[in-house]
Amino acid sequence: MQDKIGVGALKDIEVLYEGDIYDLACLLLKVHDAKDRGTNCRSRHTVNGLAMAYSLLADVERDRILEVFKGHGLPLGATVEYDEDLE
């Protein structure tokens, strides 16, 4: 099982419009970095957590989002990271 995935892997994933999942993942990375500034923490969403966040934000059933993710072979338990942090 892959435990990390680069945000760039989400560019072609679409639930409601082109780039929606990638845009949300980038926003969440920035929000986590801002909240974690000055601490020893590094918060990240999992792919499954990204589905939950999208579901709450867009009022779309989580199962619908998970089906899209599974169709693209995304590892649901992997954390979403900046691409450069995986190198």
pLDDT, tens only, 10-41: 999 999 999 999 999 999 999 999 999 999 99
Please report, for the chain, the start and end positions of each structural domain, with discontinuous segments joined by +.
Answer: 4-86
pLDDT over 70 at 76, yes or no: yes
- Report the first-to-last Cα separation within the chain, whole angstroms: 18
pTM of the complete model beyond 0.85 = yes
Closest CA to 81 of 12, 8, 1, 13: 8
Q: How confident is the model at residue 1 (pLDDT cuts 50, 70, 90)?
A: very low
